Amino acid sequence: MRTLIVLFLLLCCVFSAHAAEQKQNDLGGMEPAQALEYMKETKNLVIVDVATRRWFATKHFAGAVNIPIENISRSEALELYRGLPPGRPVLLHCRLGMIVPGAYQTLKELRPDIPEVGYITGKPLFDEYNHWYETTQQ
């Protein structure tokens, strides 16, 4: 019985050490040109636009999810963050890179199951990405 307990404790240590090794890759802020290249190279990327509904309706990245943090309550925003698909990389942005750092910090803390997370520090390159997206998705 004592041997089984010791074996169980050893297995728990091994599994918890392995789980601790699987950390989220924190990309931090990326300049718009760097982010554009990342977007083109990253499979299954979830692009999250945290700008207002009005700005999202004006222009956005193809396939982006809008979580308009200035139009909704914090609890609504948290619920939308929780609804993002697990196991996929996420890149957040706003329009000038001013409100997105807070959203980025919140998402990192709330969703450790997202393997890679970053944000765009300046004005997103919508036209360049959308043109690339249109030509590669056909």
Q: What is the DSSP string of 66-87?
A: E--TTTS-HHHHHHHHHTSPTT
Output the pLDDT for position 138. 65
Average pLDDT, the chain: 88
14 within some domain: no
pLDDT at 3 (0 to 100): 54
Q: Mean of the pLDDT values across residues 108-132? A: 96
Residue 15 lies in a domain: no
What is the Cα–Cα distance from 60 to 47, expressed in whole angstroms?
A: 10
What's the CATH code of the domain at 83?
Answer: 3.40.250.10
Contacts of 43 (CB under 8 A, 6+ apart): none
Stated pTM of the model = 0.82
Total count of domains within the chain = 1
- Tokens encoding 14: 């091994």
Q: Containing domain of residue 111, as a range?
A: 25-136
pLDDT in tens, 69-116: 999 999 999 999 999 999 999 999 999 989 999 999 999 999 999 999
Q: What percent of the chain has pLDDT over 70?
A: 83
